[in-house]
Amino acid sequence: MTGAEAAGPTGATAGVTDHGGGVWSIPVPIPDNPLGHTLVHLLDTDRGPVLVDTGWDDPTAWDTLVSGLAACGTSVSDVHGVLITHHHPDHHGLSAQVRDVSGAWIAMHAADAEVVRRTREAEPTRWLDYLAVKLAAAGAPEEHLAPLRAARAAGRTDALPGRRAAQPDRHITPGELLDLAGRRLRAIWTPGHTPGHVCLHLEEAHPAAGEGLRGHGRLFSGDHLLPEISPHIGLYEDPDDATVTDPLGDYLDSLERIAALDPAEVLPAHQYAFTDAPGRVRALLHHHEERLAGLRALLLGAPLTPWQLAEAMEWNRPWAEIPYGSRNIAVSEAEAHLRRLVKQGRAEPVPGTDPVAYQAV
């Protein structure tokens, strides 16, 4: 179902998969990441090739993208446009370099474009201050906060991600057909993983439709719908906005919208292409309901801060083995689940606690 690997100029496959109907995928490596790679998709149009995501900003990733495009019979200089499913660096990282070489336009949902703008323009030290305050409010111990304060005092801000991310020059409007000559590609807003995450529904008949494949077209799903893992759902971070968002609620609602599309095949940004999107959605909805019930059970035992809840949650490794930066992500995910439980009336903050602890209702 995932097509055949395409041979490059020298006969090597370069890892590229031809999905048929003018669609290819190129696995672009992510440095030091267990996901391994981002699947950058190439969509042929009457005005030239368009990329769905670009991969991490890294020399090896760039070389892989270049060789992958050559295996598809094209080049970076031929790229007409870049569609970004969401702003994360493993998807948007190489966009500026692609635009520099080709002059391609870059399109992204307005909510994620705002994240890019804010990240590029903000003083780096402000993000460290915000993160330290946020983690302290979540109950992080002093030994976790100390490195942030030390980095702030020493001015060590060069390693913060997103500072070089390209500002998009077009916005992806949800529900509308994108202006791609000779193709029918519709944007579906799927917030949750990020506030402006989009899936892209190729509404044309699947090349294997005549072989009895059920469903409607194909879906470039970014990180929203993956075959074996659930994407990270954390809080939407904005130091200037105190709005109480519900990212997990957004994600669950977005899953329902994708199930209703019932695409014949899903082309995700990680792992591999798969079918039966409604079945995968059902499994993810069940997973998150089980997880919410499990977290509420933890809160029945005793009130917990978000940090304490993250320590007690089940991850892919014991808490003691989770790296420093990943603990920040885990706490954000715990907070997103707490927000959902509070909104559902299944948990509430304990009055007078500082940092705020939560209890089951």
DSSP code string of 70-110: HHTT--GGG--EEE-S---HHHHTTHHHHHHHH--EEEE-H
Distances (CA, A) of 245 to 196, 235, 280, 338, 350: 13, 7, 25, 11, 20
Cα–Cα distance, 119 to 123 (Å, whole number): 8
Instruction: Report pLDDT for 12.
Output: 35
Name which residue leads in pLDDT, 167 or 212.
167
- DSSP structural state of residue 148: H
Name which residue leads in pLDDT, 33 or 102.
102
Instruction: Report pLDDT for 327.
Output: 96
Instruction: Report pLDDT for 4.
Output: 47
Q: How far is CA 73 from the centre of its chain?
A: 28
Cα–Cα distance, 14 to 32 (Å, whole number): 20
Sequence-distant (≥ 6) Cβ neighbours of residue 111 within 8 angstroms: 191, 194, 195, 196
Residue 9's pLDDT band (cuts 50, 70, 90): very low
Residue 289's pLDDT band (cuts 50, 70, 90): very high
- Kindly tell me if the per-residue pLDDT of 156 is higher than 80: no
